[in-house]
Structure 1
Amino acid sequence: MQPRQSIIAIFSTFVQFDADRFSGWATESRLRRSIQTCLQHTPKETSEYFWALYWYKFWQLPETQSLAKQHLTAYLQEPCYWISQKTAASFVSTQYRLPDCFQVAIAQIDRVLKSFNPSQTSTLKNYASIIFGSVIRETLRQRQEIDICTDWGLLRKISQKRLHESLQNAVSLTEIPDYILAWNCFKTLYIPTKAANSRQLSRPDDTIWEAIAKAYNSQSNQPATAQTIEKWLLNAAKAVRNYLYPTSDSLNLAKGEDDTYELLDHLPATQQPSLIQEIIAQEEEQARNSQQAQIHQVLVEAIAQLAAQLQQILHLYYQKKLNQDSIAQKLDIKQYTVSRRLTKAKETLLKSVASWSRDTLHISLTSDILKAMSSLIEDWLQNYYDDSNTNSP
């Protein structure tokens, strides 16, 4: 990939793919005119960090949110591309390639902007890379599980809550109770043998289908045949796959057909100077970078002091990308033990950062602050183990 150099290009162009490869940068004309106008107003500002915060501030205003989001989506194309390339390479067995991972990640731009906090994170690019990587990994893990499950295996694994959510996008609300009842009868009466592969379950035989239909009809005012119930359950499995496995739509194109319309033309003139002053003040981040480096060191030392098995579990979960069941099998322990020890390790790290914050920064630790710390530690763990060769903050 050829990196973008000018501020105009950084905030107005989008990645183009040719098959699985980067092919070039596509310019969105409205965004290009928008950022050109801004540069004419403040020609001395040539820092991409400045303009990222500038548009982030405008994204927080309802009347300018759409335009600002498009500029920030353009801005985050490069970190999204590089983290997508890195993550796709680590999931070599998946059918999803670089462009798929890229679309999965860039679709989370709203999540990035809503959770980004300039006072807690060094740059928007760094923060977005963490979120993008986490989203892609979780999506690929989930999709790999879905890909290897038969419809019957998937229906036995899904929870009722997730099934209900899936059906809301696939059938009418009046049909959902029938589907849920049929699914409950299926789970109750189709009990595979212990030797059966829970992911590769075959279709129940006709005897079981008749039993399912009988159980369903005893609880419903509208009788259904075994064939109808089987059809419902296959539709339900399809709905679950579509819900957990959505088609990614590109966000790279601006909305609207009128290429002459500029939201920038309608920005309140009185807000621009105060926003710029605020952003300039936020550029003085040396103290914050120092604090982040110290927090990184606190967490590294806290991990080193964990019990050997806790360190091993963190390593397997975050660096080797194993799920809890795989870790349990590898360490010859129960899955719930893995879950508890993961929780314990994260709580230990949270206590270390909380103590450092209280003693060094004299922060009064509220529940909201602890919750924010916990979320940042989760992102830090993802980044730390992904980059374990360098362990950079």
Structure 2
Amino acid sequence: MTRTMRPEIDADRLWADIEALAAITDPDRPYTRRSFSARFLEGRDWLIRAFEAEGLACRIDAAGNLIGRLEGTEAAAADPGVLMTGSHSDTVPDGGRFDGIGGVLAGLAAIRAMRAAGYTPRHTIELVDFLAEEPSEWGLSCVGSRGMAGALGEKELALTGPGGETLADAIDRIGGNVAELKSARRDDITGFVELHIEQGPVLEAEGIALGVVTGIAGISRVKLAFEGEAGHAGTTLMSMRADASMALARFQLRMRDAAVAAAAAGRGHFVATIGVVNILPGGANVVPGRTEAIIDIRAEDTALMNEQVELYRQFGEAAAEMEGCRLKSFERISNVAPAACAPGLRAAISQAAGERQVSTRDLASGAGHDTVFLSQVAPAAMIFVPSRKGQSHCPEEWTDPAQMAQGATCLLDTLLLADKA
């Protein structure tokens, strides 16, 4: 490797890049750039030009990830492995300018800083825009990183989206090659670091500059249904009802209290939420005969997750009995295991921030990220920058330019430390 001066982030260029990519959005719907859409491909074209302008060789792998590659000095003779960074450029509908985008462009800013300083890395460095990190119209999130981890199987590829197009066909349509999907799986990554906005209020509330992510919570979703007896709301006496909505109400309160206790148990991040409820038959003058709900449970500790799921089953049975109903079904419909961040990379992030006298805080991520799947094939870690009021997945999502530059500087310095290892 060669080095003439200390690489430094060009904060103005980074901010200009964020603004430029944010401008590629569906008209009158800032900021919307859905994966697999024409707007997404327009953003990808912009990224390819930006990557190539910084000397990166670009390709789209079989899983549909855009990869920019900067060859290291030891790549040919005794490749020490690839250092990787990046995030995603797709958004949720009416999303924000920073979620995912910040990580891709911070990685680009880090590579730009290395080149401007005359620094040639020992490791090959790859910058990745992962395909479809956000839940897509095919009902799956983290499509590209799943492919890179070998976790994109026939079941997922057969999912259908708009017009009946399969996910496999959609990946091929945007430049992937599902027939060669095995080639997307990686075993040559020596470290992966993702910068991301926090999407929560902790850093801002505590006046901390950066978050060193300890791990990414696993996510389980449980679908349950209570069955009672529908009846006329005016003639069915209160003492004679089997009201499925009351069974659900009892359940929700007990679940909330148990979740509060679990979060305070000292076993890492834990939250549980019911955000989907269906009350049937759905008439204002009808006693509900059936209710359905989906519980979203997130935990760093897999055992705690499983304990809570079983506890909620018991709560459901008890709530049903108290209201003269039945717990008709209780099914775990999805489960993603927690991902611990690599201790060595966490230490490098802390060291990088400390050398610049930047404050940090350890914290877990309650949101899912591509890092979850990269951690299955490589040491992986994350850096968080503050989010104003904790807002995300909305146009009001905001991180100050100086905060973005500070996060990009920490990413740059972390990559430099990893390159020496």
TM-score bin (small chain): under 0.3
User: Which has the larger strand fraction?
Assistant: 2
